[in-house]
Every structure is written in structure tokens, then in C-alpha cells.
């Protein structure tokens, strides 16, 4: 019997909603020698990574670590540790991932109340105030960067409102961390989770998470066991804390990769990292608008790292994505949920937020949209992006 073919992944330019392009130093870290999960070298590395995570989350929270799993595991970890059967949970839904959080909370036995806004919009304190009075929730869930719509949710005032109501605030920062500010301590956020594969530019497989002292107190006072043994932070904290009690075999080489990815962000500086994402977003946006494409999120609340645009009438959205991949090696994402077949989701995350990616994508779209019969000024997109770059110098 013949062997399956050798492993030869094709080179891709990853400009979808994730995973993002991986910096070569991070890829090199994956190939370093594996040590044991209780090896003194690895335990010391965990300490250093926790310090880097705290700086990236901008928090002093002691319980800050990386869940062994993707961003969805981070979501489950946050929810199942705070929610007990019968607890009132209020989830703000204006896209796929708010709905996912509501589903996770219901599976944990929570009594879930959803408040909804149209896709692409964000919530205001006025939206939450009456819902907080009606539901009297123990936990409130919000998506900071809604990956399905490209909407950037303001948090500071809402966090204050939730805290004044006596509730705990859980925040999904999967697409946000490393690309826009995530001010855990300054905003008074209780549990915030992210994913390694977005603006951190690390392969998928780890979910950074942080618990405030107030959240830890609630976990310690639970009346019932946490639904998930694997994600029980009372057990995980003994492994990530000073005791180093064995819990599970950690993904050693993925830890290497995330550690190196966080070092790269630390070297660049968070503010510089945010500015880089914002610059390339402005250039991409200028080019997309020159192509006649319109954004789907509220223009006052558009994410720099996730650009969700409407597919023009008469254009085959899936065909354009296929041609981008086959002819140019560029991956972008299609729409999810209410946006399925109606949207393209273009990521500028981490190492992928670079001018050469922006200009190549715009030049490729220029060709493909013209072939589809879409009307626009040929060459205007690249020119518009270049003007943004010239003005930034």
C-alpha cells in the first residue's frame, strides 16, 4: 500500500478572519526541542509568558494564563467558571460570536437573556441599562471585536454600568488582543479571553485569559462543581500558580510559539502595534472604497484588523475568493450567519498588517472585480492606498 503524499502546505497570504500570517521567529520557536510540561525550563517559561500576557492585557491580575485550546475554549473557560445552573446571564448579541457566548452560557445551565442589535452595530449604555434592571444578571457577556461583522464595541462606560449593577463582565477579545487597546484594569473588566491566531500572529491552539480578583472570588465561592474538569480554573490555577500541581500535559511547543509572539509585540510596543494596524486599515479602506466597496459595520465603530465589506450586486462572492486563492495565493473570508454570501471579511492582523499585503490584495481585486463586470476606476484602489502611506511618512 502506497504512503499518503508528503506534507507540503502551499504558501498562502492569510488575509481572512484568522488564522493570521505567522512571523518567522514564531515558526522557528515551534521547532525548538520539546521539554516536559514540568521541566524547570518550561515552568520558568510559563512565568515569563504570564508577565508578557499581563502587559498585553494591561492588567495586574494574578490569574492570567493561556488555556490549552483555541479562542472558543477561552470562551468556555470564562463562562463555565462563572456560571452555575440557574444563574441569570445577560449576553449582548449583534453577530455570530455573541450568539455563541449565549449558547455556551445556556449549556452551563445559565438562565440566559439576550439583547440584540442589528448586525454591524454596537451596544450603548442606554441599551444595557433597562436589560440590567430586568434581568439582574450575575454575568454579562460582550464581544469587544465582533469577527463576523467588523464592529468595535466601546467598553469603558458599559463596564462601569455593569459593575454598578453588581454583575461580572466577560469580554471576548479574541480578534482584539494585540490590535486595539484591551484595558483590563483601567476599564474594570472581570474576565477577558483571546486567541493566539489573530493579532498575536501565532498558530491557533492557545487562548490567553485573565480573571480579576473579583471574578476569582466568585469562582471560589461556587456552590456547584465547574461543569468542565479540563477548564476548571481552581485546578488550572494550581498548575499556573506557585504550586505547579500537574493538571494536564500542556502543548509545549505552542507555548514556545505564543511566548515568542508576545515577545515580538513587546519589542514593537503595544502603542506602535496599534498604530500599525490603524495605518494599514486606513490604506486598505481607502483602496476598497475606491473599488466601490462599502463597509458593513457602523462607520464610527469599525475594527482596523477585521474589515467586513458588502459584496457588490452581480458579483459572485465565492468565485472572487476562489480566484484570489488560486491565482494570487490570498485568503480572505466569506460572510457568516446573516452575512453569508453577502460579505467579504478581510483581515489585517499581526504580522499580516503590512503594506505589501494591502497593495497586493487591492491590485488583485482590481483585476477580479473588473472581470466580474463591476464598475469602478481601474488602478484607483492602489493609488488611494499609496496616498495614505505617503501622507503617513
Instruction: Work out the percent of the chain whose per-residue pLDDT is above 70.
Output: 100
Query: What is the pLDDT averaged over residues 12-29?
Result: 97
CA nearest 10: which of 329, 320, 279, 274? Answer: 329
- Within this chain, do residues 70 and 162 fall inside the same structural domain, yes or no? yes
Q: What is the CATH number of the domain that holds 312?
A: 3.90.1150.10
Asked if residue 52 belongs to a domain, the reply is yes
Distance, first Cα to last Cα, the chain: 60
pLDDT digits (tens, 9 = 90+) for 78-115: 999 999 999 999 999 999 999 999 999 999 999 999 99
pLDDT band, residue 242 (cuts 50/70/90): confident
Count of structural domains within the chain = 2
pLDDT band, residue 243 (cuts 50/70/90): confident
Indicate the pTM of the whole model.
Answer: 0.97
pLDDT band, residue 166 (cuts 50/70/90): very high
C-alpha cell belonging to residue 269: 510596543
- Within this chain, do residues 314 and 238 fall inside the same structural domain, yes or no? no
Q: How many helices (H) and strands (E) does the chain have?
A: 14, 14
CB 219 within 8 A of CB 82: yes
Query: What is the pLDDT averaged over residues 133-156?
Result: 97
Asked if residue 19 belongs to a domain, the reply is no
Query: What is the pLDDT averaged over residues 385-390?
Result: 98
- Within this chain, do residues 192 and 180 fall inside the same structural domain, yes or no? yes
Asked if residue 11 belongs to a domain, the reply is no
Q: What is the CATH number of the domain that holds 254?
A: 3.40.640.10
Q: What is the pLDDT of residue 195?
A: 98
- Within this chain, do residues 51 and 94 fall inside the same structural domain, yes or no? yes
Is 1 a residue whose pLDDT tops 90?
no
Asked if residue 244 belongs to a domain, the reply is yes
Distance (Å, whole) CA 253 – CA 114: 39
- Within this chain, do residues 59 and 157 fall inside the same structural domain, yes or no? yes
CB 116 within 8 A of CB 102: no
pLDDT digits (tens, 9 = 90+) for 303-350: 999 999 999 999 999 999 999 999 999 999 999 999 999 999 999 999
Q: What is the pLDDT of residue 393?
A: 84
Distance (Å, whole) CA 244 – CA 19: 31
Please say which residue of 222, 241, 267 terminates a domain: 267
Is 209 a residue whose pLDDT tops 90?
yes
- Within this chain, do residues 260 and 295 fall inside the same structural domain, yes or no? no
Please say which residue of 267, 297, 329 terminates a domain: 267
- Within this chain, do residues 182 and 81 fall inside the same structural domain, yes or no? yes
Distance (Å, whole) CA 256 – CA 42: 9
- Within this chain, do residues 317 and 383 fall inside the same structural domain, yes or no? yes
Supply the range of the domain harboring residue 162: 24-267
| In 83-148, alpha helices (H) | 96-107, 125-135
H helix or E strand, kind and range, residue 44: helix 40-57
DSSP codes of every residue in 153-190: ---HHHHHHHHHTT-EEEEE-TTTBTTB---HHHHT-S
Strand partners, 66: 208
Is 284 a residue whose pLDDT tops 90?
yes
Please say which residue of 250, 267, 284 terminates a domain: 267
Asked if residue 168 belongs to a domain, the reply is yes
Asked if residue 16 belongs to a domain, the reply is no
- Within this chain, do residues 253 and 299 fall inside the same structural domain, yes or no? no
Asked if residue 184 belongs to a domain, the reply is yes
- Within this chain, do residues 186 and 173 fall inside the same structural domain, yes or no? yes
Distance (Å, whole) CA 26 – CA 29: 5
Asked if residue 228 belongs to a domain, the reply is yes
- What does DSSP assign to residue 291? T
| Burial class of residue 327, CB neighbours in 10 A (0-12, 13-18, 19+) | exposed
Distance (Å, whole) CA 21 – CA 121: 28
H helix or E strand, kind and range, residue 331: strand 330-331
DSSP codes of every residue in 226-287: -S-STT-HHHHHHHHSTT----S---HHHHHHHHHHHHHHHHH-HHHHHHHHHHHHHHHHHH
- Within this chain, do residues 279 and 208 fall inside the same structural domain, yes or no? no
Instruction: Work out the percent of the chain whose per-residue pLDDT is above 90.
Output: 98
- Within this chain, do residues 228 and 362 fall inside the same structural domain, yes or no? no
Amino acid at each position: 500500500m502506497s504512503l499518503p503524499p508528503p506534507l507540503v502546505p502551499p504558501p498562502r497570504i492569510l488575509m481572512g478572519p484568522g488564522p493570521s500570517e505567522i512571523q518567522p521567529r514564531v515558526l522557528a520557536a515551534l521547532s525548538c526541542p520539546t521539554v516536559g510540561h514540568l521541566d524547570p525550563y518550561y515552568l520558568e517559561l510559563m512565568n515569563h509568558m504570564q508577565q508578557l500576557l499581563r502587559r498585553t492585557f494591561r492588567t495586574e491580575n494574578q490569574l492570567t494564563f493561556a488555556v490549552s485550546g483555541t479562542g472558543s475554549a477561552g470562551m468556555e473557560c470564562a463562562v463555565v467558571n462563572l456560571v452555575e445552573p440557574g444563574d441569570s446571564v445577560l449576553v449582548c448579541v449583534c453577530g455570530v460570536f455573541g450568539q455563541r457566548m449565549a449558547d455556551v452560557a445556556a449549556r452551563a445551565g445559565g438562565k440566559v437573556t439576550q439583547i440584540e442589535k442589528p448586525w454591524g452595530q454596537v451596544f450603548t449604555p442606554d441599551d444595557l441599562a433597562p436589560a440590567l434592571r430586568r434581568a439582574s444578571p450575575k454575568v454579562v457577556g460582550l464581544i469587544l471585536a465582533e469577527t463576523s461583522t467588523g464592529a468595535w464595541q466601546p467598553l469603558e462606560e458599559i463596564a462601569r454600568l455593569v459593575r454598578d449593577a453588581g454583575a461580572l463582565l466577560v469580554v471576548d477579545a479574541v480578534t482584539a488582543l494585540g490590535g486595539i487597546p484591551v484595558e483590563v484594569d483601567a476599564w474594570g473588566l472581570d474576565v477577558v479571553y483571546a486567541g493566539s491566531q489573530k493579532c498575536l500572529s501565532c498558530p491557533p491552539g492557545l487562548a490567553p485569559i485573565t480573571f480579576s480578583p473579583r471574578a476569582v472570588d466568585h469562582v471560589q465561592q461556587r456552590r456547584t462543581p465547574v461543569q468542565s474538569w479540563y477548564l476548571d480554573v481552581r485546578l488550572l490555577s494550581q498548575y499556573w500558580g506557585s504550586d505547579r500541581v500537574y493538571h494536564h500535559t500542556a502543548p509545549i511547543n505552542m507555548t514556545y510559539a505564543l511566548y515568542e509572539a508576545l515577545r515580538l509585540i513587546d519589542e514593537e510596543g503595544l502603542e506602535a502595534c496599534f498604530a500599525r494596524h490603524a495605518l494599514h486599515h486606513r490604506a486598505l479602506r481607502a483602496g476598497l472604497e475606491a473599488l466601490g466597496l462599502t463597509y458593513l459595520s457602523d462607520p464610527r465603530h469599525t475594527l482596523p484588523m477585521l474589515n467586513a465589506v458588502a459584496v457588490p450586486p452581480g458579483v459572485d462572492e465565492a468565485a472572487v475568493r476562489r480566484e484570489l486563492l488560486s491565482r494570487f495565493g490570498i485568503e480572505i473570508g466569506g460572510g457568516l450567519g446573516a452575512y453569508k454570501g453577502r460579505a467579504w471579511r478581510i483581515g489585517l492582523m499581526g504580522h499580516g498588517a503590512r503594506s505589501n499585503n494591502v497593495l497586493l490584495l487591492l491590485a488583485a481585486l482590481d483585476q477580479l472585480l473588473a472581470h466580474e463586470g463591476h464598475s469602478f476606476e481601474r488602478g484607483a484602489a492602489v493609488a488611494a492606498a499609496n496616498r495614505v502611506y505617503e501622507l503617513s511618512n
